[in-house]
Chains A and B, each alone.
Chain A
Amino acid sequence: MATIVIAADGSEAAHRAAEVGFEAAAAWGDHVLLVTAWDVLRADFGMPVHRIEHDFVNAEKGWAEKVLEDAAAHAAERGLEAETVLVRGEPASQLCRIAKERDARMIVIGTHGWGAVRSLLLGSVTLRVLHHAPCAVLTGPPSPPTPFEAARAEHTATAG
């Protein structure tokens, strides 16, 4: 039984990538590890915002915790009991580090996160993960849903 690391950031792209990751995990009997990375917002001049307003740290961490909770609920909906890991730090390096430590089969991540600007070739975190991943990287379906996905969703709905 191998481990699949799935990146969760609350974005639509991450959700769609997770769908594919859950399917793979279910088919292979793999263990799912959901990872959300957060960090403190920094002001333009480098000063951590929490020195201005301490509640910012709590808000950021709280939001990340909620993202992870939602991802775990999504996994449960697909019949999977996922392990969750909340880490502080740059997402790409954290994902690669965890994947290496856990000898993951693959990292599952959306093509873009929140900055889903289609003119960008790839999200910056996704690009960094692809550069440094210790394992295979599965990037999620493109957004918005393709006719293929719609057909597949329909097929899964009628078959399930």
Chain B
Amino acid sequence: MFSKIVLALDGSDPSERVVPVARELAAPGSAQIDIVHVRELIAGRGGGQTLRANEDDLEHRVHGLAKELSDAGYDVHLHVETTVGGGPAQVIAQIAEKTGAEVILIGTRGHAPVAGLLLGSVTQRLLHIAPCPVLAIPPHYTRKPEDAGEAVATAS
């Protein structure tokens, strides 16, 4: 249904829930999916240490998801951007603006170190600055793409 989607993935479990939704949302045919993964660096460290200790694992995961979508026939572009001292939301919004995205998909939460945190800070910030609609997916989301697949098949 959307032919240009931005998918924000931080490599966390909750963020992976958005991948099936991307398939639900993407127009059949060759929808363009821009995956954005932001590497956060800690400011002030000469060597540019990443915020997350397992950053390499996270990126590996994101690459895997990008390949999955690419194999499924979507026109996938993977953007791995670096930001120092925060600003993933800014990066995601800018890429959405640049690519002319029709919707940004993001988990309501990502790496949530605080128990009981219901809405992640990046998502919250993104909703304020996004140049287009944002679809926020909760961590427990389990809908299957088949729900939409049927309707789309009969519609076309």
Contacts and interface: CB of A to CB of B under 8 A. Distances in A.
Interface of A: 1-2, 17, 20, 23-24, 27-30, 105-106, 111, 121-122, 126-127, 130-142, 146, 148, 152
Contact of A138 (B123, B135, B152): B135
B72 interface: no
A126 B127 CA distance: 10
Q: What DSSP secondary structure best describes chain B's contact surface?
A: mixed
B3 to A, nearest CB: 11
Contacts of A137: 108, 135-136, 138
A27 B1 contact: yes
B131 interface: yes
Contacts of A140: 133
A97 B131 CA distance: 29
B52 to A, nearest CB: 24
A30 B152 CA distance: 10
Q: What DSSP secondary structure best describes chain A's contact surface?
A: mixed
A130 B136 contact: yes
Contact of B151 (A29, A134, A152): A29
Given A17-B133, A27-B155, A138-B134, A132 B108 contact: no
Contacts of B128: 111, 121-122
B151 A136 contact: no
A19 to B, nearest CB: 9
A139 B123 CA distance: 11
Given A23-B1, A136-B136, A105 B131 contact: no
Contacts of B127: 111, 121-122, 126, 130, 139
Given A20-B133, A139-B133, A133 B151 contact: no
A130 B120 CA distance: 10
A20 B25 CA distance: 12
Contacts of B147: 2, 105
Contacts of B1: 23-24, 27-28
A152 B131 CA distance: 13
Contacts of A133: 108, 136, 138
